[in-house]
Structure formats: C-alpha cells, structure tokens
Amino acid sequence: MPITPTPKIWMNGALVDWDTAQIHVLTHSLHYGMGVFEGIRAYETDRGPAVFRLTEHIERLHRSAAILMMDIPYSVDELVEATKDTVRSTGLPGCYIRPIAYYGYGEMGLNTLPCKVDVAIACWPWGAYLGDDAVTKGVRMKISSWVRHNHNTMPPAAKTTGNYVNSSLAKVEALKAGYDEAIMLNPQGLVSECTGENIFVSRHGRLITPPLFAGALEGITQDTVATIGRDLGFEVVEGELARSDLYIADEMFVCGTAAEVSAVNSVDDRALPCPGPMTQAIAAEYAKTVRGQVDKYQSWCEHVS
C-alpha cells in the first residue's frame, strides 16, 4: 500500500523532516533482519486523537527487543511520549504509527552485541488493511503452503522484522492465488495465525483463538476482542485449532491493529456464514471502543494532548 508522507518522523530523540529520515545502506538490521517494530493506530475521538493501547504496544516493543537481547536506549515512558509528539506533529485526527528499533550503521557481522540501536517512529494515514468492506463482505482465506516458524527457529512472540519474511511469502502466495490473506499452520500442523492478524473461530457457541504457544503473536487486538467478547456475554477461550475446525466453523474473523476486526467468508473455498452474529457484535463494539465511545474501555485510549 502506498505511503502518504506526513511532516515529521521521530529519529533517535528528535523530530526530523520526513524526507531527511534516512539510513545508510550498510545499516546492520537491513542485512540481518534484527529489528523490532510495532503497528499502532491513533483514532479520532471527541477529545482529539487518541492512540489505542499505546503503552502496551511500546511494552511489547521492549519485550520483542528483550528476546533479541537488544537494549532499546529509550524507556517505555520516553517512547510513549515520543509517539504522542509524532502523532501531534502530523496534525492528523487519526493515523497508523510505526515505531521501529534496529541495529544501525557502524558494525557488520552477526554479533549484534557491539551494535548501536537506533529508534524511529513514523505516522501516516492508513485505511482498512484488508479492505473497506472486510467487516460486511468478509475476506477469502487460503491456508498457506508456508509453515509458521516455531519457537526454536524464529521466536514468533517477538515482532521482529526478520519474522516477516515468513509472513510475506505466505501473503504473496495467497494474493497470487486470488485470495485476500493467508492462514499459517505451525510445524505441528495446527492453526497459528494469519500473516498479520490473530484468528478467532466460533464452534459450538465458543470463540476460540490460538495462543502464543501455537506460534501466534500475542495480539493486543486479540486481547481487546477477547475482553469485548466476554463483556458481551460470549465464551472466549485460547485453544488449539485444526485445519478442519476452520472449514466447519460457525463463523470466523481475524483481528489486528491494521486489519481491525475483519470477517472471513471462506477458507480454501469452503464458504462460511459471514458476517456471523458474534463477528458483527464484536466488530461494532471494537469500532466504538477505539474511538473512545465506550466508557468502560476509555483507559485504552491514550490521548495525545
């Protein structure tokens, strides 16, 4: 998706002009995939822009870095403030936010211990990742021929740049085959997640979502949706899902910061009821929640001013 530039990008402690936020071709992480990043959204609320669950996203950035043994030279609080400054500098009512920490220029080779860590935060306007009518019409899913990496090869609990080679291979395969998105199975053959979203499947009245041990990222939207679902009176559990659970699901949706809540209309050309009643109820509540319109979830909306 094309990027629309905004005035400033935060780099290593200062807001710099968008066009000057550049890196050297010998930047370490460009070569070895050892970066960690986040995808966050700010939404328009009646009190101005608010970043949804900002602190938890930055905490996950720090956890991803800890898995890589990377020392981010800014605390969670400093990066929360930096993110708010960057959002304010855009003047936009809402935007997508991409913080990234990476090994910079100066060292080469696989020993990352001497490498310096650079940090940047960029914001730009970004629409619905899986399409504007993903909630109403749903998306077509394909189970990927690519297997999600396991915890002993590339830790899927860390949101690292290198992990997304696996996701991109699956995404492109699915798109070229005429589908909207890919579902990744783990090396045991069980469902883990999509290339950039967590999965919820309804079977026998229960919503089931694969957890971290299945090879899924611990999604912040996954947690939001589970909370909303339970508050709406649904039973929501973490659990293992086989491929067949998807084909015979009562309903299914995927969720993530970029994709928000997107219904699934088919898996490998097996049609699913879409959008199902749980999907519709949760998607509607999610849309209000992120915009600060649900009192009990107000604390998730971190206002920038």
* C-alpha to C-alpha distance for 282 and 21, rounded to whole angstroms: 38
Closest-CA residue to 121 (of 258, 28, 25, 16): 16
- Smaller CB separation from ligand PLP, 105 or 164: 164
DSSP string, 24-83: -TT-HHHHH--EEE--EEEEEEBTEEEEETHHHHHHHHHHHHHHHT---SS-HHHHHHHH
Is residue 99 near ligand PLP by the rule CB under 6 A?
no
How many Cβ atoms from other residues are within 10 Å of residue 205's Cβ?
Answer: 9
- Binding residue (CB under 6 A) for ligand PLP from 86, 202, 222, 279: 222
How many Cβ atoms from other residues are within 10 Å of residue 131's Cβ?
Answer: 15
From 159, 171, 288, 296, the catalytic residue? 159
- Smaller CB separation from ligand PLP, 115 or 217: 217
Q: Which stretch binds ligand PLP (CB under 6 A): 71-79, 102-110, 219-227, 239-247?
A: 219-227
Is residue 219 near ligand PLP by the rule CB under 6 A?
yes
Range list of β-strands (E), 104-186: 117-124, 139-147, 181-185
- Binding residue (CB under 6 A) for ligand PLP from 9, 35, 39, 302: 39
Report 125-184 residues binding ligand PLP (CB under 6 A): 167
- Smaller CB separation from ligand PLP, 118 or 181: 181
- Which residues are paired to 10 by β-bridges? 15, 121
Q: Closest distance between ligand PLP and the C-beta of residue 20, in Å?
A: 27
Q: Which stretch binds ligand PLP (CB under 6 A): 28-36, 193-201, 233-241, 293-301?
A: 193-201
* C-alpha to C-alpha distance for 182 and 173, rounded to whole angstroms: 8
8 in catalytic set: no
Is residue 35 near ligand PLP by the rule CB under 6 A?
no
Binding track, positions 196-215, relative to ligand PLP; x by CB under 6 A: xxx-----------------
* Residues lying near ligand PLP in the complex (CB under 6 A): 39, 167, 193, 196-198, 217, 219-222, 256-257
Query: Active-site positions?
Result: 159
